[in-house]
Chain A
Amino acid sequence: MSENPTLSPERQDPPDAVGETLLSVEGLTKHFPIYGGFPFKRKVGAVQAVDGVDLTVRAGESIGLVGESGCGKSTTGRLITRLMQPTSGRITYAGQDITRANRRQLAPIRSEIQMIFQDPYSSLNPRQTVGTIIKSPMEVNGINPPGGREKRVRELLETVGLNPEHYNRFPHEFSGGQRQRIGVARALALEPKLIVADEPVSALDVSIQAQVVNLLQKVREELGIAFLFIAHDLAIVRHFSQRVAVMYLGKVVEIGDRDSIYNRPRHPYTHALLSAVPEVELAEETEGRERIRLAGDVPSPVNPPSGCRFRTRCWKAQDKCATQEPPLVRIGGNREGHLTACHFPEEPTIAARDEDVVLDPALAALEEATDTH
């Protein structure tokens, strides 16, 4: 995605004050090979987990990555942190190409890109004390903060809302929410510029999720850290991110500022996703939301559909969708930076339609029966 700010005369509502491009990803692809055959195993196919993702993260902004399981959002996060080697594509961090950078070249950048993991139980070493866990990134990178590492760890514990006295405790002595705070403290230890948070709250209880979301928000605002926030919960992503990218089967199908994605989506998949979110209706009279029920599950990324990958579940699909892959472009009427990959975009509204879209055959049959009664 090559956005040139000087060429955009109508940039009247930037979501928040954000800086220049920190990280940009072009055509990022990751294929996991599948081996089979006997007696010699050969490559027989590939899981196309991520297939040509373009993304930019600007300094200090929070960009959300949403999609269903298997859409490649976590893999994208891991490629960006270079925990995995991309098959092809380009990752540029602060002007420097790090796609094929080796360990030594990556060392200074690794400290600036940190990660928060989903499962606070498996992402902390049970044999290490909290102090050691948070201290080790500083040891690895040879950082000696003024006053010593231990003092810094105590400060970090305080920042994330834990008692600094708990320096010598082990992870099992903490609850899930507190463990996730330890994970956040570890990510903050090197004063990163970008944090990739992969489903940071989905393993937590409802009442605890808000504590961690608020903590991340505080960290982002006070320390100016950019976030790549990967989650499947659309409401939490909406709460946390200024820009949102929607992924489907390894591709970004729609990207834009929060308001565009949640109130004026154009891609049918974004419409389907939003309409599927069960929402607590707090008011008696509600302006109806559209109801779209897709059929079946996400197809296998081993053998994705040709052309537009969503076409097999889309109600607007035509012949063109099977042959031509829609490019991720700005559609007429969309705001600056709101890009959609669709040949036949939907109306930019989420209000209820005259007719619900029900593609699921069982649902359609049952509802037809009740309607005729």
Chain B
Amino acid sequence: MTTLTKTEGAGSAPTGSDPFLSVRDLYVRFSTEDGTVKAVDGLSFDLERGRTLGIVGESGSGKSVTNLTVLGLHNPKTTQIAGEIVLDGQELIGARERTLETLRGNKMAMIFQDPLTALSPYYTVGRQIAEPYRKHRGVSRREAHLRAVEMLAKVGIPQPKLRVNDYPHQFSGGMRQRAMIAMALACDPDLLIADEPTTALDVTVQAQILDLLKDLQQEFGSAIVFITHDLGVISTMADDLLVMYAGRAVERGSVGEVLRSPQHPYTWGLLSSMPRLGSDVDKALTPIPGSPPSLLNPPSGCPFHPRCAFPEQVGGGRCATERPALPEGRGAACHLTAEQQRTVFIDQIKPRLG
């Protein structure tokens, strides 16, 4: 048994230089039998080294597609992409597959949601961790094997020298996710994309994995894009937050800003529809009416207007016709004025949160 004193959260200061990952006006469209799905619709964000960007949104909000596009893992036959993705000064859209291959697993890596389907059942865990390391570093089989053992030890797999030769089915769910993290970090990537890495896990295991990711980030100094639908997870993990709805970013800011003084009605809705351990049990939850829109035919103007309670306050039917822009830095893509947002949040939303 080990007990430790409380450690402070990661507090790396942003540098003044160019962002490490910069996504500008990204559009991703899929052609399907039913029509064109506008999965990502004009998304921009920046990420500095050593920082964690959280992306929250419901299923179908485009958060996973964005990051598959960053890695170049989309199907090029059915996907149309516009915009730019710059990783450390290198343009990724339109880059050759060869170029992407040298980056993937080396400079940028991904942790997937379901470790059972993301790991191959045919190879040992150790071989799967060693493979990218051998490919990118050109080391011998033996060195790569040692690296796999080292990484497994780092992520807390007991008896790593023995378990390195196990197959994924011999690992439990939490251990598989640890093995995935080991695989992603084997080449010391500068960018780590974690797509709902703890959704399939139990809550006590989730807490272990989240803390492990945070501690490893401090050690490796990677930039992390953390995708989830769980605001609680985001609030413990991220430095900055991007709220996505229907393929667009609707609000952006630091985690504290977005969660403590949210500006967009969708963020208000998310916060007040979710019970917390500290909330008042006698207050009914306030759900967001309706359901998320189809991306085949997203609503005109602001995509959230059919479910929003405040279009009258904006007036003139602007919400249905005019698409609100998301300002640079802290802000929300909403037609309500900053003054209106503040009064509505303090008068109507905050009391609900209890």
Chain B interface residues (CB < 8 Å from chain A):
1-7, 58-59, 153-156, 158, 172-175, 178, 202-208, 210-212, 215-216, 218-219, 229-233, 235-236, 256, 259-260, 269-271, 273-279, 281, 284-289, 291-292, 353
Are B269 and A280 in touch, CB under 8 angstroms?
Answer: no
A294 to B207, CA, bound (A): 9
Are B173 and A355 in touch, CB under 8 angstroms?
Answer: no
**Given A275-B207, A293-B208, A370-B215, residue A213 in contact with residue B285 (CB < 8 A):** yes
Closest to B3 in A: A355
Specify which of A177, A277, A355, A363 lies most central, judged by the most chain B CB atoms within 10 Å of its CB. A363
Q: How far is the CB of A362 from chain B (nearest CB, A)?
A: 3
With A207-B58, A280-B235 already in contact, 9 other A-B pairs whose C-beta atoms are closer than 8 Å: A205-B58, A205-B229, A214-B284, A276-B207, A277-B203, A282-B271, A364-B4, A366-B219, A367-B215
Q: How far is the CB of A21 from chain B (nearest CB, A)?
A: 24
| A138 is an interface residue with CB less than 8 A from chain B | no
Are A279 and B277 in touch, CB under 8 angstroms?
Answer: yes
Are B273 and A209 in touch, CB under 8 angstroms?
Answer: yes
A357 to B230, CA, bound (A): 25
| A222 is an interface residue with CB less than 8 A from chain B | no
> Chain A residues with Cβ under 8 A from B216's Cβ?
366
Q: How far is the CB of A359 from chain B (nearest CB, A)?
A: 6
Interface residues in A260-293 by Cβ distance below 8 A to B read 262, 272-284, 291, 293
Partner of B287, one of A214, A273, A297: A214
Name A's interface SS. Answer: helix
Interface residues in A26-74 by Cβ distance below 8 A to B read 68-69
Are B230 and A278 in touch, CB under 8 angstroms?
Answer: yes
Are B211 and A293 in touch, CB under 8 angstroms?
Answer: yes
**Given A211-B287, A276-B207, A366-B219, residue A358 in contact with residue B172 (CB < 8 A):** no
Are A363 and B156 in touch, CB under 8 angstroms?
Answer: yes
**Given A207-B292, A239-B279, residue A356 in contact with residue B154 (CB < 8 A):** no
> Chain B residues with Cβ under 8 A from A178's Cβ?
291
**Given A279-B276, A356-B6, residue A239 in contact with residue B202 (CB < 8 A):** no
Are A278 and B5 in touch, CB under 8 angstroms?
Answer: no
Which of A81-89, A164-172, A229-237 is the contact stretch? Answer: A229-237
**Given A234-B277, A284-B260, residue A207 in contact with residue B156 (CB < 8 A):** no
> Chain B residues with Cβ under 8 A from A295's Cβ?
156, 208
Are B229 and A258 in touch, CB under 8 angstroms?
Answer: no
**Given A205-B292, A370-B218, residue A360 in contact with residue B232 (CB < 8 A):** no
Are A208 and B271 in touch, CB under 8 angstroms?
Answer: no
Are B212 and A274 in touch, CB under 8 angstroms?
Answer: no
Chain A interface residues (CB < 8 Å from chain B):
68-69, 175-178, 205-211, 213-214, 217, 232, 234-236, 238-239, 258, 262, 272-284, 291, 293-298, 315, 352, 355-364, 366-371
Report 11 cross-chain contacts, Cβ distance below 8 Å, ordered by A residue: A238-B275, A262-B277, A276-B204, A278-B207, A291-B6, A293-B211, A297-B205, A352-B6, A359-B1, A370-B7, A371-B5
Closest to B228 in A: A278
Are A361 and B202 in touch, CB under 8 angstroms?
Answer: no
Partner of A361, one of B158, B256, B259, B281: B158
**Given A274-B277, A279-B232, residue A210 in contact with residue B287 (CB < 8 A):** yes
A238 to B278, CA, bound (A): 10
**4 tightest CB-CB pairs across the interface, nearest first?**
A362-B156, A278-B232, A210-B287, A210-B273
Are A278 and B291 in touch, CB under 8 angstroms?
Answer: no
Are A207 and B208 in touch, CB under 8 angstroms?
Answer: no
A273 to B172, CA, bound (A): 19
A298 to B326, CA, bound (A): 45
**Given A206-B58, A207-B269, A273-B204, residue A282 in contact with residue B275 (CB < 8 A):** no
Closest to A314 in B: B1
> Chain A residues with Cβ under 8 A from B3's Cβ?
315, 355-358
**Given A232-B203, A358-B4, residue A280 in contact with residue B173 (CB < 8 A):** no
**Given A239-B285, A284-B260, A362-B155, residue A356 in contact with residue B206 (CB < 8 A):** no
**Given A262-B277, A277-B277, A358-B4, residue A208 in contact with residue B287 (CB < 8 A):** yes
A355 to B210, CA, bound (A): 19
A229 to B215, CA, bound (A): 36
> Chain B residues with Cβ under 8 A from A68's Cβ?
202-205
